[in-house]
Structure 1
Amino acid sequence: MSAIEYDIETGSRGNQDAETAVIAGDLELLRPLPRISVHAFCVAESTRGVMEKCGQDRRMAKVSLRITSGNIAAAAAMFASTPTPNLIILETDSPSSTLLAELAPLAEVCDPTTRVVIIGRYNDIPLYRELMRNGISEYIVGPVSMAEIISSIAAIFVDPDAEPLGRTVAFIGAKGGVGSSTIAHNCAFGISHLFSTETVLADLDLPYGTANIDFDQDPAQGIAEAVFAPERLDEVFLDRLLTTCSQHLSLLAAPSLLDRAYDYSRDAFQPLLELLQRSAPVTVLDLPHVWSDWTRAVLSEADEVVITCAPDLANLRNAKNMFDALKKLRPNDKSPHFILNQVGMPKRPEIAPNDFFEPLEIDPIAIIPFDAQLFGNAANSGRMISETDAKSPTAETFSQIAHLVTGRATIKRPKKAGLGKVLGLLGRK
């Protein structure tokens, strides 16, 4: 760690999570940024490339980012005739002896509320302290990374005393009927019971959702009221829409009616999901098997994505396409988790698990065998697998998945594994 990094780390900067993310280089620790305007002036092409990648990151979805090739003088000239944004990021290769003098013309045209971050070339602690005394918000020694840029913005604009945002886990099937909803419901139940964590299960399949059936609930209101009346949405209204399924699990049920056409804009679910993040430590999203603007938006902004497949050719093709699409939508996040479900269905020709994994270039976190009796009994009684048969291997698998998607477990990959075994063996931390 360089001297300037150590000085910054041990200083009085407000957002500890952002600092941790810089040191670890981990974007996963960073919270989404608020609606602010940012203008970056870049000298090096490499810095411009980093800023462009930042603009594509889901944590900056609300940020209005503009990037200009230029130095401090270019920024001063531009803002002499235009209002300054919430944040100016300036790259400079000027030596420490002249930097403050170069900043003077910019200071004369900056709005009082505008914040400034400087990317410099020199690891100079006295310079850093002098810049802080003169109102500069941050000084970073280049070359910079995405984590450093985004966390520096978060340290300035994200309230360190605010409640942490909840974790969002989105489940979607590579094909209809592969059991994605069943897995989502069992995982939500497992998270709430295993960790005594307040969990909300949101059924986003408004016309055909089954969460109300699986939990033997018949609520009068649910997610439709939140989606179609966003102007009413607040914590009190959300509490009225939630149905209690167990001590720590609440359900935001789908109407499961065909009395209207369910057409949504891209951001239709955004106000609801933002409120859920502030309201519960974990939100499980049960998405229908559709590919539209709104599902792409939800998937791109979820903390974790889980894709469920059955072992046939159509699922393999769809899964490959989904992994490729999500890699473009989430370029700075880890790959989605992958579950192979309904393995070993009698008389059904199947692709062998190892042959299924190879073209995807990813191992599953679980392989769930076909068990019509266990799943059928659970579904028909409105109970989860762990309630129906707590000692079954499938119940243990759901427990392992719950640990993984909440960050409480790591995947331990064995050197060898049989076709019918779980390749993604999980071990609790």
Structure 2
Amino acid sequence: MSEHGPGPESRGQIDINPIPRIAVQAFCETRETAALIDAASSDRRMMRTHTKVHMGGLAAAVEFYQSAPTPNLVVLESREGRDEILTHLDRLAEVCDPGSKVIVIGHVNDIILYRDLLRRGVSEYMVAPVDLFDFLKTVSDLYAGPEAAPVGRTVAFIGAKGGCGASTICHNVAWTAARIFTSDVVIADLDLAWGTAGLDFNQDPAMGIAEAVYQPERLDEVYLDRLLAKCTDHLSLLAAPASLERSYDFEESAFEGVLDVVRTNVPLVVLDVPHVWTAWSRRTLRAVDEVVLVAAPDLGNLRNAKNIMDSLRHARPNDQPARLVLNMVGVPKRPEIKPEEFAKALEMPVLATVPFEAHLFGTAANNGQMIAETDPKHPVGEIFRSIAVAMTGRAEVKAKKKSALAPFLEKLRGRKAS
């Protein structure tokens, strides 16, 4: 529980690590705390974050998140007492996304309140007035400290068969996630010889993922910044060279170091995995948080999808099965396997069905645009949105959400009921 910041003579000696590309939202009750958050957001150690300051405190936060997803970090100020703070937090827990961290800034130095907050999953309680460097160090320790968990969630997209459109789905879903959650996303194009991410986003960077793979000893957050190509305010790309000047034969663990650095600094890492079955691709699919398998509704895709699903079930026994997306459904005059039959054969549901829209997808590809940029009102955009929500674990807007606080609250409610 933080109360006093360091004196001016010791501030320069504070070890504060740079804070990764997280989204931060603060709900303040006093102008002093709002000014503190503004000043912190301008500090060089928070230069990668996206920070917004609101007034209204805990009550405003509860109301705001009824219709908006929570960011990586929520900072809440309250001048109320213990019971009022806990009541508001109980309500906030019902609308808080999984994985969001919470810092509470209070105006009472109460050890019992501090312990109650920690039991509810709150990351830190700070007593106002809060020192700037104390606040920076608290946030840094949450995300960059020696015991901090990696920030990023990793999601891999792979096609059941070449040409089924897995890369197109991958890029559109990643772009959509960056837009609707206003949180940083990195696409890593792992198809070094034939990757299309650069084309899809109209990017031709001089460096990309090849430099990271072939020079892993150089890769840190500074070098990563040089390798990333900026696509939008929240979306960046580790582009493939798409060159045949060399062969791309990788060891099994070739991409591990790259992904470890990226996911330490970015909230969401989306991997565009080529349709290959090698030691490194199998290892990558086994290690990620989520796998999305894209398939077209024909027999070859069905056979391959079943083989991939069976392999992943064996390799990831404690994880949920890969998500299934059917793409290019409804090609005129083409015999197709119906989605329900495809799902039955794989013994798993279809997450989304993307219709065959040759003109729409062709126009977007030729213009280096995403579908929602080419036609913002087309229903396919909503399909990509639903996939983004599912793969990130983030709650849909206006949907009821739960957070890591929920289990603690349920126990407390059970005790009260008894």
- The interval holding the TM-score normalised by the smaller chain is 0.5 to 0.7
TM-score normalised by structure 1 residue count: 0.58
Secondary structure of the equivalent of 1:251? Answer: strand
Tell me the amino acid that sits aligned with residue 305 of structure 1: V
- For 2:246 and 2:280, locate their aligned partners in 1 and report how far apart those are by CA, in whole Å: 18
User: Match of 1:345?
Assistant: 331
Q: Is the 2:188–2:272 contact (alpha carbons within 8 Å) kept by the matching residues of 1? A: yes
Whether 2:160 is the aligned partner of 1:174: answer: yes
- For 2:285 and 2:399, locate their aligned partners in 1 and report how far apart those are by CA, in whole Å: 27
Whether 2:284 is the aligned partner of 1:303: answer: no
Which residue of the other structure, out of 394, 399, 411, is the alignment partner of 1:408?
394
Q: Is the 1:168–1:277 contact (alpha carbons within 8 Å) kept by the matching residues of 2? A: yes
TM-score normalised by structure 2 residue count: 0.60
Which one has more relative contact order, counting CA pairs under 8 Å at least 6 apart? 2
Which residue of the other structure, out of 195, 215, 219, is the alignment partner of 1:209?
195
Q: Is the 2:339–2:350 contact (alpha carbons within 8 Å) kept by the matching residues of 1? A: no
What stretches of structure 2 of length at least 5 have no aligned partner? 1-143, 402-418
User: Match of 1:362?
Assistant: 348
Rate the CA distance shift 1:179–1:428 in 2: closer, same or farther, 3 A.
farther
Q: Is the 2:156–2:288 contact (alpha carbons within 8 Å) kept by the matching residues of 1? A: yes
Q: CA deviation at 1:159?
A: 6.4
Whether 2:364 is the aligned partner of 1:378: answer: yes
Rate the CA distance shift 1:179–1:228 in 2: closer, same or farther, 3 A.
same
Name the % identity.
56
Q: Deviations over 1:1-58 (max 9, x none)?
A: xxxxxxxxxxxxxxxxxxxxxxxxxxxxxxxxxxxxxxxxxxxxxxxxxxxxxxxxxx
Q: CA deviation at 1:233?
A: 1.1
**Could you say what the CA RMSD is over the residues aligned between the two structures, in angstroms?**
1.7
- For 1:291 and 1:369, locate their aligned partners in 2 and report how far apart those are by CA, in whole Å: 27
Q: CA deviation at 1:260?
A: 0.5
Which residue of the other structure, out of 238, 241, 244, is the alignment partner of 2:230?
244
Q: CA deviation at 1:320?
A: 0.5
- For 1:305 and 1:165, locate their aligned partners in 2 and report how far apart those are by CA, in whole Å: 18
- For 1:388 and 1:428, locate their aligned partners in 2 and report how far apart those are by CA, in whole Å: 31
Q: Is the 1:304–1:336 contact (alpha carbons within 8 Å) kept by the matching residues of 2? A: yes
Q: CA deviation at 1:304?
A: 0.6
Secondary structure of the equivalent of 2:306? Answer: helix
User: Match of 2:9?
Assistant: none
User: Match of 1:317?
Assistant: 303
Query: Mapping of 1:74-223 within 5 angstroms?
Result: 162=148, 164-223=150-209
Secondary structure of the equivalent of 1:274? Answer: helix
Q: Is the 1:403–1:428 contact (alpha carbons within 8 Å) kept by the matching residues of 2? A: no
Secondary structure of the equivalent of 1:383? Answer: coil
Count of aligned residue pairs for this structure pair: 257
Which residue of the other structure, out of 372, 375, 380, is the alignment partner of 1:389?
375
Secondary structure of the equivalent of 2:349? Answer: coil
Q: Is the 1:408–1:428 contact (alpha carbons within 8 Å) kept by the matching residues of 2? A: no
Q: Is the 2:295–2:302 contact (alpha carbons within 8 Å) kept by the matching residues of 1? A: yes
Q: Which has the larger radius of gyration?
A: 1
Whether 2:211 is the aligned partner of 1:225: answer: yes
- For 2:212 and 2:400, locate their aligned partners in 1 and report how far apart those are by CA, in whole Å: 36
Q: CA deviation at 1:347?
A: 1.9
- For 1:252 and 1:176, locate their aligned partners in 2 and report how far apart those are by CA, in whole Å: 22
Tell me the amino acid that sits aligned with residue 227 of structure 1: V
Which residue of the other structure, out of 247, 250, 254, is the alignment partner of 2:240?
254
- For 1:408 and 1:229, locate their aligned partners in 2 and report how far apart those are by CA, in whole Å: 34
